Chains A and B, each alone.
Chain A
Amino acid sequence: MRYVLQKIVFYIVAFWAALTLNFVLPRLMPGNPVDIMLSKLAQRGPVTPETRQAIELLLGTDSQQPILDQYVQYMGQVLTGNLGISVTFFPAPVSQVISQTLPWTIGLIGISTVISFLLGVGLGQLAGWKRGSWLDNVIPVTTMFQSVPYFWLALILVFLLGSVWQIFPINGGYDVWETSPGWNAGFIGSVIYHGTLPALTIVLSSIGGWMLGMRNMMVSTLSEDYIVTAEAKGLRPRRIMTTYAARNAVLPSVAGFAISLGFVVAGSIVTEAVFSYPGIGSALLQAVGSNDYALMQGIFLVITLSVLGANLLVDLLYSLIDPRTRARA
């Protein structure tokens, strides 16, 4: 229990530090929301000099307020769960924007990260177990996919599977023409159909690392004495592979998985840009483009929470699957 408590205190301090950074970073950017909104309006139509005053009043941006007061106010808001009003999507609250976009990102990137991990670790385990089989030859191919820049791989697949052969749709989260969001078969099917191609690109580009890492750990684990002992005891090969070898070999991969889970939110920007996917990454891009402090802070908060949360989860999980981490050296 002491171990768990220590961890939790550490995470609270890390969370506070991250919140403070979230507050400071957006304010170091040039420009302010009012000027940016005005200039954007001016690109779309007439803006009269009086517009500025109206926008200032509208957004309630009081830049004269001391930064310390803003900080205290921000911390108070975060703790009460009020993330403020988005400037880009005025008058929508930040929490609404996040709740509209986050499920898409978690659904697409989260699930494909999990698929990629399970598939990679599973295949890597087999490849390590049966060294020299055809699976060994798959590894260089998958690592090649990983080494190709992600956006390029995605664009090529969009071009081939979306444009030339038209197997998959090229953009969007679902068929906006024929379905409406809700728990109906048409919509869910459309979401799966639209998500397949982006998910495929993510799996293709990340599976190689999992496979390679798992295979090599398997190989070194298989030469341990306890494996020989297990074989000598006459255990079934399948049991040796899963319970004796794989359970030990997977430990480094699990740590890596925690980190990649944490980056699900942050790493979604490129995927969402290529596929016009309606997730949180594109909302972040828009927020940055409009100096939307509140929305940026809100999304950074989500990223922070997901990274810390994933790490905490794995820390705790680790103490379950690897008892050695619990003991104090």
Chain B
Amino acid sequence: MSLKSPRRRRTVGVVGSLAAAALLLSACSSSPESGEAGESTITVFNGSTGTITENFNPFSSTALQPTNGVVFESLYWYNAAQDEDPVPVLATAFEWNEEGTELTITTREGVTWSDGEDFTAEDVAFTFNLVAETPELNTTGLSAVAEATDENTVVLTFEEQSFMQEPSVLGNRGIVPEHIWKDVADPITEVNSSPVGTGPYTVESFSPQSYLLTKNENYWEEGKPAIDQVRYISLENADSASAALLAGDIDWMSSFLPGLEQLLADNEQLSYVNTPALTTSIFTCSNPELGCEGPQTDAAVRQALYYGIDREQLNNLAGGGFASPASPTMILPERDARWIGDSANSEVPSGAEVDQAEQILEDAGWTEGSDGIREKDGERLSLTIQTVSGWSDYISLNDAMTQQLAEIGVELNPVQLSWNEWNNNQTLGQFQLSLDSIGLQPSNNPYFTYNRWYASTQTVPVGESASAGNAARYSNPIVDEAVLTAGATSDEAVQAEQYAIIQGEIVRDMPYIPIYVNSMLTEFSTENAVGWPSNDDPYALAAAWKSWDNGVILKTITPAE
């Protein structure tokens, strides 16, 4: 099968006549690079399907993905792929006052907007004030007043202690030019067709099927970016994306491709990087006080599930062998090693520990029933686990776990639902077990993971919507207090102490049962560009859909010789 071919290209205007036959012929002819000598272009598939709607508004939740990071930049960049300090982008320094209510930011000098105007601290102040004053845009709960005290200094004054606002302020907010946005009538519905930003690329052309970004000639970082143009396209599904990758139509995409090793062996120009960042876990509706029902409300059952599954087998059957070990503390064992208080909690067991699981169940009073399934007070140890139909790896996980857990006398009933129903059940708490994942927060500080998934403040009784939060309905005053204490300081030693307390609690209670850190595979073609992140040097989170990291990668890669 010869799938290696140069991208079918055709020059506009070569065709003189309208005759369809002539058009067809010309469409078949390939003339790579014609008419654009020396121009380097790469094509990205970032997961968008169907029709694309124009939206380059960096404040909008439905903005096109390259808006943030590629067209607009933040003050700092938080690398989710490695444990490192925030990388300065539009700012060069920041400092908190002691109380955590005042953040002083020094902005970078010598940056110009893509329309040629100078970037100043005024723009930064304007951006944050606009967000704070517009509740529809304030997705991070920012309550601060920003003031530019001089050309290069901005001071954000918060209403309360806000150390934990740091990553969303510095790393998750695209700075817009005041001279343009002060005239925007409605920043909520603005689609910002020809955006003026500081990022390495600007928008060249847009159509509902594809859009093209072109190099920002005014970019502040000397000699960057090296690639002239970046095209984003829309494809229906992973199948058509992988076909397009093999045909050389796509240079960068993120998708789990079955038989990846073989594809790479057959196609020299392809490479990949695996950046596991999300912990695939069994979410349990754990708290009977908030209305959860079923055997999983017993912590012993959750512990037994934790020990009863054979993760090595699961990785081979469902993870394609690309998954890496998780930590029962729910942070990444390698990247976040310094935050794990007790090294015993560093990694999950890799094989099934059947004896231990059975012992836990016996001690808790779950005895074997006549059909081999354990029971307690007449209640069978039978659990329903939900996942989304079409998520083939999760479905395989459920099937394999059903067999593994039968060994310890637990009956697992997998159900597949539509995405909407699965999501609805989970946010409303109307589930027993559910497969989902945990990870990727504003920064690598575990505060965000613990606050969002474990704090009582993020949960509500069953029947109410706990969207994007503590779906397990976990509520533990010790954890709540530790989260509060950790959030009230910027002293990492104090934080680590508090996290150790939290970890002790959640490793025992196990409201979310970690399986493994799922693979996050990204495939590249080195035909048009080189310098992509690799498994040896994952300098940024390479996923094609990841907003801020995309900008860093696009300005790092260089044209292939």
Report which A residues bind B (CB closer than 8 A): 29-31, 34-39, 41-42, 44-55, 57-58, 86, 88-92, 96-97, 100-101, 158, 162-164, 166-167, 169-181, 184-186, 188-190, 192-193, 196, 272-278, 282-283, 285-286, 289, 291
Contacts and interface: CB of A to CB of B under 8 A. Distances in A.
Given A90-B61, A170-B240, A192-B24, A57 B247 contact: no
B149 interface: no
B15 A189 contact: yes
B132 to A, nearest CB: 12
Interface stretch (B4-12, B97-105, B326-334, B475-483): B4-12
* Interface residue SS majority, chain B: loop
Contact of B51 (A162, A166, A179, A282): A282
A175 B8 contact: yes
Interface in B16-46: 16-18, 20, 23-24, 26-28, 41, 43
B488 interface: no
A293 to B, nearest CB: 12
A276 B440 contact: no
A273 B236 contact: yes
Given A49-B469, A176-B231, A192-B24, A91 B189 contact: yes
A48 B168 contact: yes
Nearest to A276: B236
B50 interface: yes
Given A30-B424, A37-B61, A272-B236, A178 B11 contact: yes
A175 B27 contact: yes
B135 interface: yes
Contacts of B419: 289
Nearest to A29: B420
Interface string B76-105: 000000000000000000000000000000
B440 A171 contact: no
Contacts of B392: none
27 contacts: A35-B424, A35-B465, A35-B467, A36-B420, A44-B545, A45-B440, A46-B442, A48-B139, A49-B457, A50-B139, A52-B467, A55-B61, A57-B135, A91-B60, A91-B190, A97-B53, A101-B208, A163-B1, A172-B209, A175-B8, A177-B9, A185-B15, A185-B23, A186-B14, A193-B24, A276-B234, A276-B237
A186 B35 CA distance: 15
State the 8 A-B residue pairs at the shortest beta-carbon distance, nearest first: A50-B141, A189-B23, A176-B210, A282-B50, A91-B189, A89-B53, A276-B236, A31-B424
Given A36-B423, A39-B423, A189 B24 contact: yes
A166 B5 CA distance: 9
A164 B54 CA distance: 35
A158 B235 CA distance: 15
Nearest to B3: A163
A193 B23 contact: yes
Nearest to A170: B243
B141 A189 contact: no
| Interface-centre pick from B135, B189, B208 (highest chain A CB count, 10 A) | B208
B207 A190 contact: no
Interface of B: 1-3, 5, 7-18, 20, 23-24, 26-28, 41, 43, 49-51, 53-55, 60-62, 65, 135-141, 167-168, 172, 188-191, 205, 207-210, 231, 233-237, 240, 243-244, 246-247, 249, 418-421, 423-425, 427, 440-442, 448, 452, 457-458, 465, 467-469, 545-547
B437 to A, nearest CB: 9
A45 B547 contact: yes
Contacts of A186: 10, 12-15
A49 B452 contact: yes
Contacts of A31: 420-421, 423-424
Given A36-B423, A100-B51, A171-B244, 12 more contacts: A31-B424, A37-B61, A39-B467, A49-B468, A51-B61, A54-B136, A163-B247, A169-B8, A171-B236, A175-B10, A274-B236, A278-B209
Contact of A90 (B27, B62, B468): B62
B51 A189 contact: no
Given A50-B140, A91-B191, A286 B61 contact: no
A90 B61 CA distance: 9
A52 B468 contact: yes
B139 A51 contact: yes
Nearest to A91: B189
A171 B240 contact: yes
A54 B420 contact: no
Nearest to A155: B239
Nearest to B208: A100
A174 B12 CA distance: 13
Nearest to B548: A45
Contacts of B442: 46, 48
* Interface residue SS majority, chain A: helix
Contact of B420 (A42, A88, A289): A289
A119 B205 CA distance: 40
Contacts of A35: 423-424, 427, 465, 467
A227 B471 CA distance: 76
B210 to A, nearest CB: 4
B50 A283 contact: yes
A177 B231 contact: yes
Contact of B468 (A42, A163, A169): A42
B458 A49 contact: yes
A190 B10 CA distance: 9
A46 B440 contact: yes
A206 B521 CA distance: 40
Nearest to A52: B467
Contacts of B235: 171-172, 276
| Interface-centre pick from B51, B421, B440, B465 (highest chain A CB count, 10 A) | B51
A321 B337 CA distance: 81
A174 B423 contact: no
B61 A184 contact: no
B467 A34 contact: yes
A180 B207 contact: yes
Contact of A181 (B14, B17, B207, B546): B207
Nearest to B452: A49
B420 to A, nearest CB: 4
A41 B53 CA distance: 17
Contacts of B20: 189, 192
Contacts of B234: 276, 278
Contact of B1 (A29, A164, A291): A164
A285 B236 CA distance: 10
Contacts of A193: 23-24, 27
Nearest to A194: B27
B15 to A, nearest CB: 5
Contacts of B191: 91-92
Contacts of A30: 418, 420-421, 424-425
Contacts of A274: 236
B18 A185 contact: yes
A190 B209 CA distance: 13
Contact of A39 (B233, B237, B468): B468
Nearest to A187: B12
B51 A97 contact: yes
Contacts of A86: 53
Nearest to B236: A276
A158 B208 CA distance: 23
A291 B419 CA distance: 11
B143 to A, nearest CB: 9
| Interface-centre pick from B1, B10, B16 (highest chain A CB count, 10 A) | B10
A199 to B, nearest CB: 13
Given A35-B424, A163-B3, A54 B137 contact: yes
A50 B547 contact: no
Contact of B23 (A38, A88, A192): A192
A87 to B, nearest CB: 8
Contact of B12 (A55, A179, A286): A179
